[in-house]
Structures are given as C-alpha cells and as structure tokens.
C-alpha cells in the first residue's frame, strides 16, 4: 500500500492511473479537491478495490495519523500542492499553508508513524516529495543547467514555498533519519491540465480563434516535460532512488514561450486537418481557423510582464538517468498533438476563466 497526496490533481491523477495500470499494489489517494482537482479523471477506477479515495487536507494531522495507522503504507508520494505562479503573486498565503506547512505536517506525521513501526518496516519506508525547477531561480542565456547541488534562488512566492518545503524534507532526513526522496520537475504539460497553465490556455484560446496572452516579449525559456514522462520519473525515483537524495527531472525540450506557441499552432492545424479528412471535428468542437507556424504572431497578444518573471530554467538530470535508467520518451510535438486531441475529444475540458 502507498499513500498518494494530491491524487486528483494533474500530475497526481496521472500517477494514480499509471500506477494502477502497472502495479497490483493498492494506494490511498488523499486530496482536498481544490479548484484544480479533476476527480473525473479517475472515473475508470470506480469500484476498483485497489484505489481508496479520502477527501481531506494534508494539514489535518489527526486525519494523517489515522490514515497511516490504518493503512500502514510503505511509501508516501507527496504531490499535493498549489502550483500557479500568478495566484501566488496575488496571494501567497495559500501557498505557504499548503506547500510549506502542509509538507511539514505530513513529514511530522510520517516520522511519528515510523517511530511506532518495526525497524525493518521503517527502513523500507520512502517519503517522495515532488518539487520544481523554479526553486533554482532564473538562469542567463549562457548559464549551464542546474544540477542537484545548485544553490536555491527562488524569485516568486510559489518557488519560495516549494523551496521551504524542500528544506524541511532534507532536514527531516538528516535530523530524524526519515528516508526521503526529492524530485524537481521541469514544466509539465499534457491532457487534462487546468486552463490556467500555458499549454492548456493556449489550446483553448487558439481553438476559439482568440490570441494567446504572453508575458513581456515572449522570450522566457521553459523546459517542457510530458506528464507521462514525469510520472515515470517519480516511479523510478521511488523504486530505485537512494534515500536522502534529490533528483532533477528534465524534458530536454527548452523553448521560448513564442516558440512553444508556434509548435502548438502547428499541432492544432495538423490535428484539425486530420479530423476534417475523417469528417469529424471532435464531438462538435469548432475547428481552429487555418494557421501555420509562419503566421504564429497572429495568435499572440503581448501583455505586461509578470513581476519577478524568471527568464530561463534548465536542469541537468544525469543523476536520475544514471541511477534509475529513466529517460523522457515523449517528443514535444507528439505530446502536444496528444494534448490537442484530448481537448478536441472532450468539449469543455479546457474551458474556464483565463489565467491572464
């Protein structure tokens, strides 16, 4: 049995689905069902005895103690988090509460639980904490990618809340001997992501014939990682990582935001043309107006830059590759087409308030 926090979120629901597709081992899914949760993504698990859903908050220590005592999980996969930078800039308190204090409460509950368990069970236990490349702050155009020993330089409240959580995880390993693992993922995308995130927002805007708002000059660089590859990295770290270690998870597909929109426009055009040839637009979804990469600027609306906007992220993930054998497998254009296909197949899945 493993305990997954945030298992109804974007990465969390994919983790739950992929885990149960490849493992017989059951899991408990603890999720507070905040605005970004997608419990409908787990509809296929209804009635599956391997999946136990619990509606609750990671800051609820009594609930955590009860779950750990009842299920005695061999691992905690901690994915619950507030993640959207714009929301953190508007109000950082929810991020400090969930990302930092929530992680601390979970660590304290795990440590207390292990103290009551046999030594062999405690030694085999793992606490996997999912973090972000944003803790490293902004890189210059010629700076080398950050390895696991790069200094933390968070520049926005979201990154600060995750950096603080990372430090608590490391401290509990050193002070209490808790068998922890930390992964730092790059920008993750894929089917079912909330529309506040750039890829999902851009797809919904372009399909509606509207321009995509981009901050500043659109030249901020992000490394894109498909959610399936991210989940595979989490599983690899859980199963083959060394307690007390941190692992970077990179997609090796760094693009400016402008370049990303160009790839998305092409993906949408290719997918919609394929559907036209087959005589379907995807459950009545309107097709995008004709667009090509040569005319990408017609799909861009530049807006005032975000405060503290990091210019570039890049990570060195050779440690994870060498220790676990993991490597990303999904090329960006293939992953973007899959994401576009999901949007066309599921009307309304990408609807909602714009993030910008």
Antiparallel, parallel or unpaired: β 180-185 and 187-189: unpaired
Burial class of 97 by CB neighbour count within 10 A (0 to 12, 13 to 18, 19+): middle
The rounded distance, in Å, linking the Cα atoms of 237 and 243 is 10
- Do 287 and 224 contact (CB within 8 A), yes or no? no
Q: What are phi and psi of 190, to 5 degrees?
A: 150, 180
Q: What is the pLDDT along the chain (356 residues), one digit of tens a residue?
A: 999 999 999 999 999 999 999 999 999 999 999 999 999 999 999 999 999 999 999 999 999 999 999 999 999 999 999 999 999 999 999 999 999 999 999 999 999 999 999 999 999 999 999 999 999 999 999 999 999 999 999 999 999 999 999 999 999 999 999 999 999 999 999 999 999 999 999 999 999 999 999 999 999 999 999 999 999 999 999 999 999 999 999 999 999 999 999 999 999 999 988 887 887 655 444 444 444 445 789 999 999 999 999 999 999 999 999 999 999 999 999 999 999 999 998 866 544 434 33
Token pair listed for 137: 């702050």
List domains and CATH numbers for the chain: 2-193+224-252+312-329 (3.40.50.720)
Token pair listed for 113: 């639980």
Among 82, 133, 223, 229, the one annotated catalytic: 133
Residues with Cβ within 8 Å of 34's Cβ and at least 6 positions away in sequence, in order, are 82
Other CB atoms within a 10 A radius of the CB of residue 126 amount to: 20
Token pair listed for 106: 């979970």
Residue 133 known to be catalytic: yes
Among 31, 134, 269, 271, the one annotated catalytic: 134
Residue 158 known to be catalytic: yes
Predicted TM-score (pTM) of this structure = 0.94
Residue 338 known to be catalytic: no
Among 158, 247, 313, 350, the one annotated catalytic: 158
């Amino acid at each position: 049995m493993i305990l997954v926090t945030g298992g109804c979120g974007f990465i969390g629901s994919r983790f739950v689905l992929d885990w149960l597709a490849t493992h017989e081992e059951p899991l408990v899914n603890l999720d507070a069902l905040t605005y970004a949760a997608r419990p409908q993504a787990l509809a296929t698990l209804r009635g599956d005895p391997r999946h136990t859903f619990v509606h609750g908050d990671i800051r609820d220590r009594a609930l955590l103690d009860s779950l750990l005592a009842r299920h005695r999980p061999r691992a905690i996969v901690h994915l619950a988090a507030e993640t959207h930078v714009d929301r953190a800039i508007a109000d950082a308190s929810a991020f400090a509460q969930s990302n930092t204090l929530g992680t601390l409460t979970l660590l304290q509950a795990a440590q207390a639980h292990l103290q009551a368990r046999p030594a062999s069970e405690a030694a085999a236990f793992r606490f996997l904490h999912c973090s972000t490349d944003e803790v490293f702050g902004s890189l210059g155009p010629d700076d080398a990618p950050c390895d696991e020993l790069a200094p933390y330089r968070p520049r926005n409240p979201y990154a600060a809340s995750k950096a603080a959580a990372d430090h608590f995880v490391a401290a509990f390993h050193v002070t209490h001997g808790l068998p922890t693992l930390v992964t730092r993922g790059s920008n993750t995308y894929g089917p079912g992501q909330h529309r506040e995130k750039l890829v999902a927002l851009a797809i919904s805007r372009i399909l509606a014939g509207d321009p995509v708002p981009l901050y500043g000059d659109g030249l901020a660089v992000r490394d894109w990682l498909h959610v399936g590859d991210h989940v595979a990295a989490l599983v690899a770290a859980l199963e083959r990582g060394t307690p007390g270690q941190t692992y970077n998870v990179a997609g090796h597909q760094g693009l400016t935001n402008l370049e990303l929109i160009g790839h998305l426009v092409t993906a949408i055009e290719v997918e919609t043309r394929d559907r036209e040839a087959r005589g379907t637009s995807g459950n009545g979804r309107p097709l995008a107006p004709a667009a090509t990469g040569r005319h990408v600027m017609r799909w861009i609306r530049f807006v005032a830059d975000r405060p503290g906007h990091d210019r570039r992220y890049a990570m060195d993930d050779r440690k994870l590759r060498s220790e676990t054998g993991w490597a990303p497998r999904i090329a960006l254009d293939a992953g973007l087409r899959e994401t576009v296909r999901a949007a066309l197949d599921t009307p309304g899945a990408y609807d909602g308030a714009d993030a910008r």
